[in-house]
Structures are given as C-alpha cells and as structure tokens.
Amino acid sequence: MGVTFEKKRKIFHLFTKNFSYYIHVNKYNYLIHLYSGKYLNDISKERVSERYMERYAFLNDEKKETMDEDYYFSFIASQFEVAPFGKGDKRNAPFIIEGEDNIPITNFLFDSYEIIKGPYKKERIRFPYVRFQENDVTTLIITLKDEYKKVYLKLFYEISEKFDCLVRYSKIINKSNENIKVKKLSSFELDLPSSGYKILALKGTWGNDTEVEIIPLNHSLTKISDNHGARGFYYNPAIALISNEATLDNGEVYGISSLYSGDFSYEFKVDEIDQTRIIGGFNDETFEYLLKEKEEISTFQTLFVYSNKGINGMSQLMHEVIRKRIMPQTKNVQKDYILINSWEGYYFDFDTDKIISLIDEAKKCDINLVVIDDGWFKNRNSDTTSLGDWEVDNLKIDLKKVIDHAKSLKMDIGLWIEPEMISPSSYLFKEHPEFALIPENYKHPTLLRHQLVLDLTNNEVITNIFRKMIDIFDEYDISYVKWDFNRYLTESYSPSLPVERKKETNYRFMLGVYDLLYRFTNIYPHILLETCASGGGRFDLGMLFFSPQIWGSDETDIALRASIQYAKNIFYPLRSIGAHVSNRKIGSIQDKACLAFFGTFGYELDITKLNEEDKKQIKFFNSLYKDFHHVVEEGKYYSIFSPFSSNYAAWNVVSNNKKECLVYFMNYKKEQTKSRFLKIKGLSPNKFYFNSLTNDIYKGSFYMNVGLNLSCPMDPYFSALFVLKEVDDIRAKLYRKTKQVDGGKRDKLI
Ligand code: GLA
C-alpha cells in the first residue's frame, strides 16, 4: 500500500521504499504540502507548520488564541498543494478559472478523497499515459471545490512502489450553471521548503537537437516551456531539479517528465523567504478553454522520480519505468531489426533498381530492414509538394516488386510518412482547402518547409487522412514506419472551431495527433513505429507511448551526435534513440558505428558504394549487435563525462546481472600528453572482467576506482566502444599465469 491517510491529523502519506510525499488538510481546508524527499516513516516529530514564524502568521485574520499548528498557516509562507489565485498568495498559481463575472479569483478547498488499488481507469484518458498494471500502483484522488463557484478539481497521484515513481495529473469539472473559462490548467504544483536548486533542461534546434542547459533558480520567475503547438526542439518536457550539492552520482535530484508533445510549461519561483515553487501543465500562453456546464477537462500526466543518488540515479529510475510502462510492449518492439534508411544515401533520387540493389547489398551485410524514406509518393521529387496525397508513385517505384524481393531474402520494408501535413500544391489542398489549419479570412499563412499543417482539431480531417493511410498499409506489407513532423504550428486558430473555442486549437490539435496515432497503432500493432520531427524534435514521453523509438537527430556527424545522444540519455532509454551510421565527414564507419550502437542502431548511406573494408566493418558491428545490443536495450545507464562540462563524452551501460558492460568514450579537442583515467560504474567489485580495450583482466573494483588508463596523446574525435565481460576466477588466475610465463603477452580469453 503506497498511500495512507491518518484521519486524526488529516495527513496523507504517499511512499515508496526510497521516497515520501506528505500532504496535510489544514483547518481551513487548504491542502498543505508537508514534505517530499527521502523516505520518512512519520512526519509528526517535525511539528510540520511550526516553522512559520509569527511574523507571517499575524497576517491571518484568525484569532491568535488558537495556538495550534494551523495558527501558523499563512498565504505568504505556507507550502500549498494547490495555491489559490487572487488571494494572499502572490506566487504563481497552478489553476485559474474565471466565471461569467470576469473575475478569476480561484480558491480550491479540500472536499473528499479516495484511495484505490491500481491505476484510475474509470474514464478513458485521451492522452498517452503510464501503462501501470494493477499491482504497480496505489492511486490517491483528492477532490477540491472552489470556494466561489460550483467547480471541482480532482488531483490524481499514482504512486508506484515497484517503479519508485509518482505520476500526477488533474481534472476540472464544472458543476455550476454558468460557463467557465479555464485560463490556467496544471498537472501539478510542488512547493519545496528551501532554495538552492538548479534546473537541468534540454534545449535544441535543428541539427543540434539536444543540448544540456543548467539554469540556476533565483527569485525571478523562470519558465521552461514551449509554444510551437506540437513541440519542436526548443525546450524538452523532461527536466531535472538538482540540489546544489548534487553530482552525477550523489545528492538529491528530482526528475520530471510530461507525457505530452504539445505546449507545456514548467514555472519555477523562489519566493521572498527562499522557498521554491514548481508548477507544470499546459502553457497558458497558448491555452484557454471554455468549460460549459457539466463539462470537464483533464491534463496530461507528469512523471516524477526522486533520487538521492545524483543524476545517474534519476536517469536509471526514469529509464526503467519508461521502458517497461510507457513504451509500447507490442510485438514490434521485440523485433531485432538492423535497418538501413534511404534518406542520406539517395534523398529523393531513387527508383526500383536502386532500391533493389540496396536490398541486395544490405542482405550481404546482414541488414534485415530497408526503409524507403521521403520520395515514394506521387510527384514527390522535392520537399515542395504532395504531402496529403498518399499514393505510391508507380512510375518511380514498383513497391510490390521491392517488397516481394525483400521478402524473398527474408528482409522487411519500411516507409516514411508525414500524416499531419498538407502541401499547398497537393490534390488534397485543391479539393479541401478548409482542411489546412488557417483561420478563415487570414490570407498568406506562414509556410515552413513549403508546407502547411492539417487541421487535426477536425474529426473529418483525421478520418480522411487515416483512410488514405489504411489504403497504403492494407495494400502493402510494410513492417516499419517513420512518422515525421517537419514544421510547427502558426496562425493556429482552427477554421472548424466555433469562435469561442478558437484558443483551444493547440490543445485540440495535440488530441487529434494522439487520436491518429491511437487509430494507427491499434490497427497495425505489428508495424514498428519510429517517430521523428525534423530530426530529433518532438522527443518526449507522449510520442514514446506510441513509438518505441524516435529519430535522434538529422545530425549524424559523430562530433555533435555524441553530445546530442549524451543529453537525450539523461532522460530517455538508450534503445529509444534512433541512431544510424552515415556518410558524414567526421570519423570512420567504425567511429560512427560505435556511437550508433548506443541507440537503435542502423545505417543511412549508400552502402552499394562502400569499399570492402567498410563493408567488413559493417558486418563486424552487425555481429556485435547480435551479441551485445541487449545490454544497451535493458542495462543500467551511467554517465561518466559530460561533453557539456568536459572535453569528453563518456558513459557505460551494465547488464542487469552485471556480467557485461559496454563503454563509450569520445574525445573532443586534440590533447597531447594527458593523464586520463576512465572510471567505470556499476560493476561487481569482486568479480573479474576482461576488457576489450587492453585485453586485460582486472577486478570490478579496479575498473571502478583506478579506471581504465587512457593516458596517451589523443586526436580530436577519437572515439571507442569497448566491452567488459565477467570471467570466472579460474580463468582470471589462468590469465595471470599466462602473463607471467610469456612475459605479459596479451591473451584473448574470450
Ligand atoms: C526530416 C527527417 C529526415 C528525413 C526528411 C525527409 O527532415 O528528419 O530524416 O526523413 O525529413 O524529408
């Protein structure tokens, strides 16, 4: 049972083995946040509210004679679970609702609660969600009622002992007989009693999709958000709140990640007495919602993990729950595909013969999936046309022939598609100009990559596009889909929504995207889906709910790629990051394969033009994939060096039984003589491991405390993947003996 309610003191305790979260219902029926952090079996000794000095308490209009703990309640100093708006608390508020009187004062007070075993399933949520099973979680639902209007707020807390995490979301229900404007809607508020935190955020742009940014929190309002409608790169909805003393492996870190691909926001405010408030939910810049009588609206879910083992501890908790309870568990995830994608090899310039040759060469190199990227549908010979007209260009490619050929070699075929888009020169646009997301009477809409976005707030549009997709995927035996999204929303006030709902467009658009993805994955669960947005944009848990992998970045040059992957690794399981070996300038095929190995692994170049040596390398890495990629897929991740604060990118992944470990290392700037040791993490200290770098055998404790000696002059972009593999004691002893006898000659025992 991960939730208790102590009736006498009205205290809720949500807990896992390592984490506690306490909420108190005070005598004015405010929900007060008492504590969140390392597991604490009782909060009573702390005399929860006593620390609020009289100085703040006097601001209350309550009588001083009630010297109980609630006497110290104060709008200025209390930590709320749901802060009011328009009253004494002038910090940022999580919910703002406005009635027909145009007054937005909002004051939600405790009404009732419910504790249930398992996740809350009474309604089908329209957003992606954490797929908790019955035994994974206990759910606490607290209902509050606004003091002024008959409007209810439900707070949902799913606490999972099994995955050591908490999932939060909320819902507003209008039971009044007036129309309500929801001006701010949050998934959560988290008030912490101190300051001294910094934020680790991921930001990016096309080609440098993901960079780590460390933002110290101060007394001004800090907002990490996105307003592009369907998230591009900009800020990622995964962040970490890091206490000042925390490091990679020690100290307190909260990981927070939203299951949403649209406009989100996290607000941070350190108040006048140095407490920290965090609020996360829809970005109120682009969100306003009309809630009519009897209507309700829910938020997306936000996942929280708490670690006192530093950033790496946080990453490991995140990776585990994402892998096991967010990413789809259907057949398509289990397939061991090594793919080759046509994009960087051919762009739009291919035909049946070229693809057949690619298949033949791929077969020789043990590649088993060939993906035909952009350019397979009618008239699409550049990025200026045809989005929306999803019909095979039979003059360019005989898709049936290509598939039959691949199948005869026991290989599969994948296709690229960009379903949410429409080209102004397409037949679809000629027939249905109203399908484009352009407000009536607003001419000259913004074109980005020569294209417009479809109005997915309109069910008719979703159905039309989905029918076209069915026509393709029912007719052709396709095993993989790359689902792209190459521009963001502009002028996003839907022509199909009534005037009073225009500002709901971005929110409703995202629901439309999820609807389309639900329909597709329901009908084609066997198709392996990889989402993509101009490279590695829209990389979030909303998308990972549908597609077990997301293309990491259009940047495939190892120099930047290593830092992009490093940044993504912090929050996302390595196996979810689409990574290919390409033909870019920096690094050899081997260098690129070392890095791609720590993602989904595949290729994106014209292998028919490679020399024999490069093909040998490809075959070697493909055999390595069969032997060791399971470590990347399931192992525990440890960052060693950050390219954002050192000259290296380095990490290691250890299999769950600790018998195998894969290490990645990359050097950035040329370094001449340099003492350099790479300390590996997470091994069994007393077991012996053979390492493929020096072909030596040492104990785990040696690798972890002394490290691997990389003290040699190093060129820029020197990079390596090496394997540590446990060997038994006898083999280790034998190895020592051999070394003595032959004077230290290196011996391969594995
Ligand atoms: C986007 C993707 C690329 C490729 C092109 C095709 O830019 O990120 O990988 O699929 O679209 O147009």
- Tell me the CA–centroid distance for residue 374 and ligand 1, in Å: 7
Residue 700 pLDDT > 50: yes
Residue 72 pLDDT > 80: no
Q: What single-letter DSSP state applies at residue 85? A: B
Residue type, 669: K
Q: Report how far residue 450's alpha carbon sits from residue 489's, in angstroms, rounded to the nearest whole number.
A: 13
- Residue-wise pLDDT tens digits, 550-568: 999 999 999 999 999 999 9
- Choice between 742 and 102, residue whose per-residue pLDDT is larger: 102
Mean pLDDT to the nearest integer, 315-323:
98
Q: Report how far residue 478's alpha carbon sits from residue 528's, in angstroms, rounded to the nearest whole number.
A: 9
Protein residue with least CA distance to atom 6, ligand 1 = 374
pLDDT band at 394 (very low <50, low <70, confident <90, very high): very high
Angle at 277 between CA 273 and CA 279, to 5 degrees: 160
- Residue-wise pLDDT tens digits, 645-666: 999 999 999 999 999 999 999 9
Cα dihedral across residues 14, 20, 21, 22: positive or negative: positive
- Tell me the CA–centroid distance for residue 539 and ligand 1, in Å: 15
For residue 200, what pLDDT is reported? 98
Probe target for ligand 1 pocket from 233, 374, 605, with the most ligand atoms within 8 Å of CB: 374
What are the structure tokens assigned to 586, written together?
């920096």
Residue 45 pLDDT > 50: no
**Phi, psi at 544, each rounded to 5°:** -65, -20
Protein residue with least CA distance to atom 11, ligand 1 = 534
Residue 248 pLDDT > 90: yes
* Chain CA centroid to CA 548, Å: 11
Q: What single-letter DSSP state applies at residue 533? A: B
Q: What pTM does this model have? A: 0.96
Is residue 375 a contact partner of residue 347, using CB atoms and an 8 Å limit?
yes
Strands (E), 477-613: 480-483, 528-531, 549-551, 577-578, 580-582, 602-604
For residue 463, what pLDDT is reported? 98
566 CB within 6 A, ligand 1: no
- Tell me the CA–centroid distance for residue 581 and ligand 1, in Å: 15
For residue 732, what pLDDT is reported? 79
Mean pLDDT to the nearest integer, 48-56:
50
Probe target for ligand 1 pocket from 343, 547, 564, with the most ligand atoms within 8 Å of CB: 343
Probe target for ligand 1 pocket from 373, 531, 561, with the most ligand atoms within 8 Å of CB: 373
Q: Report how far residue 657's alpha carbon sits from residue 635's, in angstroms, rounded to the nearest whole number.
A: 9
Residue 174, number of CB atoms within 10 A of its CB: 24
- Tell me the CA–centroid distance for residue 425 and ligand 1, in Å: 20
For residue 600, what pLDDT is reported? 96
484 CB within 6 A, ligand 1: yes
374 CB within 6 A, ligand 1: yes
- Residue-wise pLDDT tens digits, 252-273: 999 999 999 999 999 999 999 9
Q: With CA atoms as reference, report the closest residue to 419 among 368, 382, 473, 366.
A: 473
* Chain CA centroid to CA 657, Å: 26
- Tell me the CA–centroid distance for residue 490 and ligand 1, in Å: 20
**Phi, psi at 365, each rounded to 5°:** -95, 15
SS (H, E, C) 167-200: EEEEEEEECCCCCEEEEECEEEEEEECCCCEEEE
- Report the catalytic residues: 484, 554
pLDDT band at 140 (very low <50, low <70, confident <90, very high): very high
For residue 746, what pLDDT is reported? 46
Strands (E), 180-337: 180-184, 186-192, 197-205, 208-216, 222-225, 234-243, 253-258, 264-270, 276-282, 289-291, 296-298, 302-307
